[in-house]
Structure 1
Amino acid sequence: MSTRTVLHEADIARALTRISHEILESNRGPDDIVILGIPTRGVALARRIASLISDFSGASVPVGALDITMYRDDLHRNPTRSPQPTSIPAGGVDGRVVVLVDDVLFSGRSIRSALDALQDIGRPAAVRLATLVDRGHRELPIRPDFVGKNLPSAADERVNVRLAEVDGEEFVTIEGSEA
Structure 2
Amino acid sequence: MTDHLPEIDPLLETLTQRVDALIESEGRARCSLVGIHQGGFWLAGALQKRLGLDGEPGALDIAFYRDDLDRAGLQSEVRPTRLPLDIDERVIILVDDILYTGRTIRAAMNELFDYGRPAAIRLAVLLERPGRDLPIAADISADRIELAPRQRVKLRGPDPLHLVIEEARA
Distance in 2 of aligned mates of 1:174 and 1:11? 18
Indicate the RMSD between aligned Cα atoms, in angstroms: 2.1
What TM-score comes out, normalization by structure 2 length? 0.86
1:29-178 to 2 correspondences below 5 Å = 29-54=27-52, 60=54, 63-81=57-75, 82-90=77-85, 92-163=86-157, 165=158, 168-175=159-166
CA contact (8 A) 1:67 1:85 kept: yes
Deviates more, 1:61-70 or 1:102-111: 61-70
Distance in 2 of aligned mates of 1:32 and 1:62? 15
CA contact (8 A) 1:100 1:128 kept: yes
Q: CA deviation at 1:51?
A: 2.1
Distance in 2 of aligned mates of 1:150 and 1:63? 25
Q: CA deviation at 1:80?
A: 4.2
CA contact (8 A) 1:34 1:61 kept: no
Percent identical across equivalent pairs?
37
Q: CA deviation at 1:31?
A: 1.7
Distance in 2 of aligned mates of 1:97 and 1:61? 16
CA contact (8 A) 2:63 2:74 kept: no
Distance in 1 of aligned mates of 2:67 and 2:102? 12
Whether 1:15 aligns to 2:10 is no
Where structure 2 has 5 or more consecutive residues not aligned to the other structure, the ranges are none
CA contact (8 A) 1:71 1:117 kept: yes
Q: CA deviation at 1:71?
A: 0.6
Query: Residue type of the partner of 2:46?
Result: R
Q: CA deviation at 1:175?
A: 4.6
Query: Residue type of the partner of 2:164?
Result: T
Deviates more, 1:129-138 or 1:11-20: 11-20
Deviation digits for residues 1-28 of structure 1, max 9, x if unmatched? Answer: xx9441224223323322332322432x
Relative distance call for 1:73 and 1:21 in structure 2 (3 A) is: same
Query: Residue type of the partner of 2:80?
Result: P
CA contact (8 A) 2:58 2:84 kept: yes
Name the SS of the counterpart of 2:48 in structure 1: helix
Q: How many residues align?
A: 165
Q: CA deviation at 1:149?
A: 1.2
Distance in 2 of aligned mates of 1:53 and 1:169? 18
